[in-house]
Amino acid sequence: MSGTLVIAGLGPGDEALVTPQVSAALARASDIIGYIPYVARISPRPGLRLHPSDNRVELDRARHALELAAGGAHVVVVSSGDPGVFAMAAAVFEALEDASTAWADLQIEVLPGITAMLAAAAAAGAPLGHDFCAINLSDNLKPFDLVLKRIRLALEGDFAMAFYNPRSKSRPHQFAEVLETLRQGAGPERLVIFARAVSTPEQAIRVVPLFEARPEMADMRTVVIIGASNTRQVGRYTYTPRRV
């Protein structure tokens, strides 16, 4: 019997944001693979093997998933959010490309999920209501200069922006540089949304003008959304109009 490999997005945290498609895949799985806190979201049941692993071992985890599936298992790799947005889907295809052709015929399916920026935007109003960019601020896999270049170009194009992985203990100064780059290209009243732990009981949404934004307002559980020039507030909602 041939195995299968599904890469599924669990959404940002709230179980009511897990799609029925993903729930059905989890119910059929023999093996669940993923980063520890994501695997912890899966209810144990007889016959289901859980394989939690540490952060920053995405390629090892992807190879493990491919091996198990090639051996006949029904594997679900779980990501938070959407697996195709700064998550496990690309890592699985990287591992597939690096590997021998032994896995070439494996059936792989990616199941989308609610990615953090969309849940954050919904919680704030509609700040991504017009053209926008999604940028991963981590320099783990790309030079930090490229991050700053992309931010400058997005400002020039007046895109709204969503930043993933804005800040970590290993690179405390970089988010300050990001804020400085924003100040060079946008006015002091540009709206900045810090959306922490979206859709969980710890959710906190804070909207400040750029001149009040401070690096310590973000951590690794925060998605930061930068408004376009016409992003505005109406009552307690922040939104970007559809017309420029």
Binding footprint of its own copies on the chain (CB under 8 A): 11, 14-21, 24, 58, 82-86, 89-94, 96-97, 104, 108, 110-115, 118-119, 121-123, 125-136, 141-143, 146, 149-150, 153-154, 156-157, 159, 232, 234-235, 237, 239-244
Query: Minimum distance from CB of 159 to its own copies (Å)?
Result: 6
Residue 17 vs 73, nearer CB to its own copies: 17
The dihedral over CA atoms of 203, 190, 176, 193, expressed in degrees to the nearest 10, equals 10
Query: Minimum distance from CB of 193 to its own copies (Å)?
Result: 12
Query: Minimum distance from CB of 35 to its own copies (Å)?
Result: 15
Cβ pair 16, 58 in contact under 8 A: no
Residue 131 vs 180, nearer CB to its own copies: 131
Residue 94 vs 219, nearer CB to its own copies: 94
Query: Minimum distance from CB of 51 to its own copies (Å)?
Result: 21
Q: How far apart are CA 50 and CA 33, in angstroms?
A: 6
Cβ pair 37, 221 in contact under 8 A: no
Residue 48 vs 126, nearer CB to its own copies: 126
Cβ contacts of 94 within 8 Å, gap of 6 or more: 59, 62
- Strand stretches in 27-143, DSSP E: 31-35, 49-53, 74-79, 107-111, 125-126, 132-136
The total number of residues shown for the chain amounts to 244
Residue 156 vs 216, nearer CB to its own copies: 156
